[in-house]
Structure 1
Amino acid sequence: MHEMWCGPDTSGQRVWHILTTDKTGTLCGAERQEDPRRQDPTDKHCLPCMTTFQAVVQTR
């Protein structure tokens, strides 16, 4: 099962990433970091994560 994590994209904008199954990184390769600052919610998603996730789901 994959989980979502809200963190910065390459431009610094907060987006939803998809975590790897071991939850140490993201499907796009971004390193997961704990961010104690409270941030406004977003509905934006990381396109590279979503593309990789789509490929994983389609092969199952």
Structure 2
Amino acid sequence: MKQSKRLVRWQKECVAAHNLKVSDWRVVKETESYLYLINKETKDRKIVDKFVR
């Protein structure tokens, strides 16, 4: 698995729009319409739509 990356500003806005705490999540993969996130502590995974803001 690739190493997860920190969120940039527009990604933070997308994550916050989905009612998730920004400081707990990191980006694993990015596609044209989705962000694949992983929780830093619990290792839970979520898929977030980029266009929801």
Normalising by structure 1, we get a TM-score of: 0.28
Which has the larger Rg?
Answer: 1
Structure with greater strand percent: 2
Normalising by structure 2, we get a TM-score of: 0.29
